[in-house]
Chain A
Amino acid sequence: DAGITQSPRYKITETGRQVTLMCHQTWSHSYMFWYRQDLGHGLRLIYYSAAADITDKGEVPDGYVVSRSKTENFPLTLESATRSQTSVYFCASSGSHSPGATNEKLFFGSGTQLSVL
């Protein structure tokens, strides 16, 4: 099915391990985003990408690495997982960032629930 898919759906890991969360979209959207969602904080932007090979930091980038070699994929890597990175991670995409553009709507994946023990 077309859309935005995240994998895995659930992940348990240990502190210090490297973890990669995958995100794939089939719309050829230019923009892709990674958010984390925590109680009391809501959704916070980790990193975003305006196009292939262009990435930029969001509000909470520390401890995370992203890459965007292909338009459709935007993996998020936790280089050395910590307990504070236990969260639900959402990937999103949009076709534009210009207010008023018809394709500026954010489409979210179903999320990856990550537990760091």
Chain B
Amino acid sequence: QKEVEQDPGPLSVPEGAIVSLNCTYSNSAFQYFMWYRQYSRKGPELLMYTYSSGNKEDGRFTAQVDKSSKYISLFIRDSQPSDSATYLCASGLNTDKLIFGTGTRLQVFP
């Protein structure tokens, strides 16, 4: 079992929909939770990160961590075609050895 599990999708939604992306992790010592976005043929770029349970908002994006259930979520409100990408969750003790999920491919159609 991988330490960070993520549904690979693909997920296809209409423009304006609310998108929910989810991951689970197995190591209760992990304290670092991140979401990366990766466009086709590009490197991943950091979207959001948090170190604690609860919600963190940044514009249309909300990252949520539930340490009791070891669940990581990313919500995208008012999704746009430009949000079409692969979303990678990552977790770890620090950035020395981040464990990445396999990524969820999201397509937002007009």
A84 within 8 A of B: no
Which of chain B's residues have a CB closer than 8 A to the CB of A45?
Answer: 97-98
> What is the chain A residue whose CB lies nearest that of B34?
A106
A-contact 0/1 string along B87-110, CB 8 Å cutoff? 010100011111011110000000
Task: Say yes or no: A43-B44 contact (C-beta < 8 A), given A99-B31, A99-B32.
Answer: yes
Contacts of A111 in B (CB 8 A): 41-43
B6: Cβ under 8 A from any A Cβ = yes
Kindly state the interface size class of chain A when it binds its partner: 20 to 34
Provide the residues of chain A in CB contact with B42, threshold 8 Å.
110-111
Q: Is the CB of A97 within 8 A of B45?
A: no
Of A40, A97, A100, which one neighbours B96 at CB under 8 angstroms? A97
Q: Is B49 in contact with chain A by the CB < 8 A criterion?
A: yes
Query: Quick check: A42 and B44 within 8 Å, CB to CB?
Result: no
Q: Is the CB of B6 within 8 A of A42?
A: yes
Name A's B-contacting residues (CB within 8 A): 31, 35, 40-45, 48, 50, 56, 58-59, 90, 92, 94, 96-100, 104-106, 108-111
10 A-B pairs (CB sep. < 8 Å): A31-B96, A40-B102, A58-B97, A90-B43, A96-B95, A97-B94, A99-B51, A105-B46, A108-B43, A109-B43
